[in-house]
Amino acid sequence: MAWKFLWYSARVEAAVESWPAGVRARFLRIIQLMRSHGPHIGMPHTKPMGAGLFEIRAKGREGIGRAFYCTMVGERIVILHAIIKKSAKTPLRDLELARTRQREVQP
């Protein structure tokens, strides 16, 4: 059975849709790998952020995208938050927002 992807909200989906073409294409490729191999395919594609939160690491010529996700029972992956990175470190505000949303969707 393939893993299913869910969006936390239409706003999160729209954020990924607005990414530059190369970054978005890399994200979609990683998603395809995760559908068949599971949510934890490891670096350089995914990275654990602690306490059940993970990030998809999509890099293109135009920049770097990060999509934070968690897993749920029934082979479901929920994309909680998505950003285009502008600095080397992931902004704490974005990480906290993803953690808050994770607490909302996980029992």
- Cα 96 to chain centroid distance, Å, stands at 14
- Residue 19 token pair: 């990414």
Show me where the domains of the chain are located: 4-105
Look at residue 31 in the predicted model and tell me its pLDDT.
96
pLDDT in tens, 22-78: 999 999 999 999 999 999 999 999 999 999 999 999 999 999 999 999 999 889 999
pLDDT band for 86, please (50, 70, 90 cuts).
confident
pLDDT band for 100, please (50, 70, 90 cuts).
very high
Look at residue 1 in the predicted model and tell me its pLDDT.
66
| Letter string b/e over residues 66-98, b meaning 16 or more CB atoms within 10 A of that residue's CB | bbbbbbeeeeebbbbbbbbbeeeebeeeebebb
User: Domain 4-105: which topology?
Assistant: YaeB-like fold (3.30.2310)
Dihedrals phi, psi of 21, to nearest 5 degrees: -50, -45
Contact at 8 Å (CB) between 14 and 44? no
C-alpha 52/C-alpha 72 separation (Å) is 10
Tell which residue, 17, 11, 44, has the closest CA to residue 30: 44
pTM assigned to the model: 0.94
Look at residue 63 in the predicted model and tell me its pLDDT.
93
pLDDT band for 88, please (50, 70, 90 cuts).
confident
- Cα 21 to chain centroid distance, Å, stands at 16
